[in-house]
Chains A and B, each alone.
Chain A
């Protein structure tokens, strides 16, 4: 079974069947049906590896109850104690709860490290041992990875940390936690949900309404358009150039880089439209993962608009806890007195940022090019923060208006260029290939292939025209969204013939211009591999 939401088997068979069954069964059984569908979906893709999801779910349930027992004991002890003793009692229980939550974190992170990164660390350790001429090596394991492990592990960690912090009440109901961990539309590529956002919605078993059904279907259609008309159509060019970059000049490599950035956005955001639209059908509001990222004016803003649920996860569970840890707080306090408000907190935030971006790179995959991708963004964001006062004073001296259109356009263009170079390393077959491609763009840039037409690798002019028209279509929607215009509400407010003309129009566009059939190989779901 193909692990993708953009295949007819999903949106024409699985989703309608589950939705139909969900609507038919009595309300109190809908949650059971949904859980059955989740587990059947997982089993169909990952088979017996379902055990990992089960173990993860049972373990967070147990940890939640464990933390709850300490919370109850602590509250009782505090109630009966003198005011002077309360602080001490709280500190004792905080230590115990910290021990429990640390155990839970180590278990989940350890499982992920073993399953996803054992070979990466092993092969690098072996290379190091070989270089040192040491006569032993680590065994290599071929471990199968359960689908969506990187996503549901983040959900598991956020649940136990939130219970520890007291922002979420421990859930005694194993079924509700299991539903939270495994909602099938979000299982493969996220979004990374928080327990407080989705658990109750999933458990409620609300009926499917006409509005939810049509709004969900609209969103799915728009996602399929992005994926099938744009991302899949660009695939032959990207595959060919990234695989045999040596055969092309820097101009074609640069084109492939731009096409890949476009493909990644259309594929991932398109899949998210299908996922969020699927949730909408069941009346479940899943968190948004994209907010017009290519309108960002800096790399740090870009990451508040691209893969939002991953960014907020790292901010809430790594950036702030690290930068506000006791040693770093002390460092900030001392540094501020000597270096001032801007440069004072820079070291602590730099350490926290490094942790975030190292983990972000590693999360995307067990290869050096992903780690490089993470550290590339760390350097850009850190330097952006560091040089902000210099940047500001330079603009003032040059009499450049920071709010003026030319400067804002330049900021946007600059951000898009920097994002493209990051994605080049992200897609490259290894770090060496990424560096070689980067070098080619700067040292072997020619326009000959564009003059002769040789730049069209694996695609033709018609494909290119369809892609450009598709990008313009998506861009118009993005501009309207950026201006807070809801196109979906506007369409829903029209009379029936106009509404259905829009829906059928979009379906026809996908059927006519979608890249499917024997002549095309659709791009695999990129984030499913993470």
Chain B
């Protein structure tokens, strides 16, 4: 989880990812940031994130992103 926070904070330092729960719905993560984030997550955790997983429920908070990473790691 700490590694995820590091990735997120490097991507958008001005956002408090530990408390934010509306990253997509609140427009804190743009489509451009999502593309960057996915590339970084895939490299860091050796997973593949398909386009179908890009829904607000999976990216609205750091916890949701972490749950997605864990689920995809298990699938792989």
Bound-complex Cα distance A321 to B49 (A): 11
Inter-chain contact B50/A323, CB cutoff 8 Å: no
- A324 contact set on B, CB distance < 8 A: 35, 38, 49-51, 54
Specify which of B35, B40, B51, B76 is in contact with A349 (CB 8 Å cutoff): B35
Contacts of A333 in B (CB 8 A): 39, 42-43
Q: Which residues from 15 to 43 on chain A have a C-beta closer than 8 Å to any C-beta of chain B?
A: none
B29, chain A: closest CB distance, angstroms: 12
When C-beta atoms are compared, the residue in chain B nearest to A330 turns out to be B39
**CB of B36 within 8 Å of the partner chain:** yes
From B30, B33, B38, A329 is in contact (CB under 8 Å) with: B38
Contact with B along A326-341 (1 / 0, CB 8 A): 0001001100100001
The answer to whether A167 touches B52 (Cβ under 8 A) is yes
B17-65, CB < 8 A from A: 30-33, 35-36, 38-40, 42-43, 49-52, 54
Which of B10, B30, B54 has the most chain A CB within a 10 Å cutoff? B54
> With the chains together, A167 CA to B57 CA distance in Å?
14
**Of B39, B52, B76, most A-chain CB atoms within 10 Å:** B39
B10 contact set on A, CB distance < 8 A: 341
- Given A324-B51, A341-B10, also A332-B39 (CB < 8 A): yes
By a CB distance below 8 angstroms, the chain B residues around A319 are: 31
Known A329-B39, A336-B39; judge A349-B31 contact (CB<8 A). Answer: yes
With CB as the reference atom, state the residue of chain B lying closest to A320: B51
A349 touches B43 (CB 8 A): no
A177 interface hit (Cβ, 8 Å): no
Given A329-B42, A333-B43, A323 and B35 touching (CB < 8 A)? Answer: yes
Per a CB cutoff under 8 Å, which of A166, A321, A341, A342 touches B51?
Answer: A321
List of A residues within 8 angstroms of B33 by Cβ: 341
Q: Map CB proximity to B onto A248-268 as digits: 1 under 8 Å, 0 otherwise.
A: 000000000000000000000
B11: Cβ under 8 A from any A Cβ: yes
- How many chain B residues sit at the interface, stated as a range, is 10 to 19
Say whether B39 contacts A385, CB under 8 Å: no
- Closest B residue, CB atoms, query A319: B31
Q: Does A236 contact B (CB under 8 A)?
A: no
Interface core residue of A165, A320, A336, A344 (most chain B CB under 10 Å)? A320
Interface check A315, CB cutoff 8 A: yes
A348 at the interface (CB under 8 A from B): yes
Instruction: Check B38–A166 contact: CB distance below 8 A.
Output: no
- List residues of chain A with CB within 8 A of the CB of B51: 165, 316, 320-321, 324
- Kindly state whether residue A345 has any CB partner on chain B within 8 Å: yes
Inter-subunit contact A348/B35 (CB<8 Å): yes
Chain B residues, CB < 8 A from A167: 52
- A346 touches B (CB below 8 Å): yes
Say whether A87 faces chain B, with CB atoms less than 8 Å apart. Answer: yes
* Shortest distance between the CB of B41 and any CB in chain A (Å): 11
Interchain CB contact under 8 A, B32 and A345: yes
Segment 59-75 of B: residues with Cβ below 8 Å from A: none
CB-nearest residue of chain A to B34: A320
Q: Which residues of chain A come closer than 8 Å to B30, judged between CB atoms?
A: 385
Within 8 A of B (CB), among A452-476: none
Cα distance A342–B36 when bound, in Å? 8
A166 near B35: Cβ-Cβ < 8 Å: no
Which chain B positions have C-beta within 8 A of A336?
36, 39-40
Q: Which 3 A-B pairs have the closest CB atoms?
A: A320-B51, A165-B52, A345-B35
Residues of chain B touching chain A, judged by Cβ–Cβ distance below 8 Å, are 10-11, 30-33, 35-36, 38-40, 42-43, 49-52, 54, 76
Beyond A329-B38, A329-B42, A349-B35, 6 additional pairs, beta carbon < 8 A: A87-B76, A320-B31, A323-B35, A324-B50, A333-B43, A336-B36
21 CB contacts below 8 A, A to B, read: A165-B50, A166-B52, A167-B52, A316-B54, A320-B54, A323-B35, A324-B35, A324-B38, A329-B39, A332-B36, A332-B39, A333-B39, A333-B42, A333-B43, A336-B40, A341-B11, A341-B33, A345-B32, A345-B35, A345-B39, A349-B35
